[in-house]
Amino acid sequence: MSEPLLLEASSISVSRGGHDVLHDVDLRLAGGEALALVGPNAAGKSTLVRTLAGLLRPSRGLVRLEGRDLSAWPRAAVARRVALVAPDDEGPGALTVKDRVALGRYPHRGPFRPLTREDEDAVRHALEATGIGGLAHRPLETLSAGERQLAALARGLAQEPRVLLLDEPASHLDIGHQLQLFRVLDEVRARGVAVLAVVHDLQRAALWAERLVLLAQGRVIADGDPATVLLGDAAAEAFGVAIRGHAVPGVAGRVFSFENGRARTGHIAAGPAGTARR
């Protein structure tokens, strides 16, 4: 049985500063799905994520949450279902990590109410899942950029959403913490949560996601499994590189390589091992 459709954008356009940043974008996200949103700089990825979260309203088209127009939902109800983790989502520097993560419980308990046992459990599990339990009582201002990013993720997990939206979640993380991050996202997906992440590293996106959506100049120009999207002419044109898929003996799926120039994409039978495969 297929997972339910949780979030849907239908022909949405978004205007900012007097001009359209997104143009007639369609996107569907089902429960348990891993979707990587990729594209060159200034493609409109962050704008799309914020529109899906309800922070921006489309000038045309609709965003639907669980089949209902997002604008018709009370804001608190949206926050109980959709969590956004963004690069600027850090919180006041004097706040402790635990208190920062506990803010994820606000949509469930409302203002000025003490944490319940259920809230405390959600916060503890989020700290443990992200590997920052040992930092719980540290002020945010004493953390590295990567640690602050993990604290923001933990806040999103404590929210216990049905849809988790992440804008560049791995940008400040070393390779070990990147692997931990995507392991956590897979554990979240296993519970039926839909996960959409903006990922700049195409190799990492291909390794993690079941599906890629390629955005360029505010339009969706490709949508499909990683091999289909990355080996299509649209990706080569959007990024201005040649992309090749390598079948490596003993490695399931393809390894991708990227070269300067806009040569056509292609497939070769074998090649040097890389870091991404499907």
Q: Mean pLDDT throughout 81-102?
A: 87
Q: Is the pLDDT of residue 270 over 80?
A: no
Averaged confidence pLDDT in the chain:
88
Contacts 24+ apart (CB under 8 A), 12-17: 12/51, 12/58, 12/60, 12/61, 12/62, 12/63, 13/58, 13/59, 13/60, 13/61, 14/44, 14/47, 14/48, 14/51, 14/56, 14/57, 14/58, 14/59, 15/59, 16/47, 16/56
Q: Please tell me whether residue 59 adopts helix, strand or coil conformation.
A: coil
| pLDDT 10s digits, 28-81 | 999 999 999 999 999 999 999 999 999 999 999 999 999 999 999 999 999 999
Number of domain units in the chain:
1
Contact 126/96 with Cβ under 8 angstroms? no
Q: Please tell me whether residue 171 adopts helix, strand or coil conformation.
A: coil
Q: Which residues contact 165 (CB under 8 A, 6 or more apart)?
A: 49, 52, 53, 82, 83, 84, 85, 196, 197
Q: Is residue 204 part of a domain?
A: no
Give Rg (Cα) of the chain: 19
Q: Is residue 101 part of a domain?
A: yes
Contact 135/143 with Cβ under 8 angstroms? yes
| pLDDT 10s digits, 174-210 | 898 898 899 999 999 999 999 999 999 998 999 899 9
Q: Is residue 62 part of a domain?
A: no
Q: Is residue 35 part of a domain?
A: no
**Bridge partners (DSSP) listed for residue 84:** 165
Given this model, what pLDDT does residue 120 score? 94
Q: For residue 151, what are the domain limits?
A: 90-158
Q: Is the pLDDT of residue 261 over 80?
A: no
- In the sheet with 266-268, reading across from the earlier edge strand, the strands are 254-260, 241-247, 266-268
**What DSSP element (H or E) covers 79?**
helix 75-81
Q: Is residue 99 part of a domain?
A: yes
Q: Is residue 134 part of a domain?
A: yes
Per cent of the chain over pLDDT 90 is 69
Q: Is the pLDDT of residue 111 over 80?
A: no
Contact 43/218 with Cβ under 8 angstroms? yes
Q: Is residue 150 part of a domain?
A: yes
Q: Is residue 115 part of a domain?
A: yes
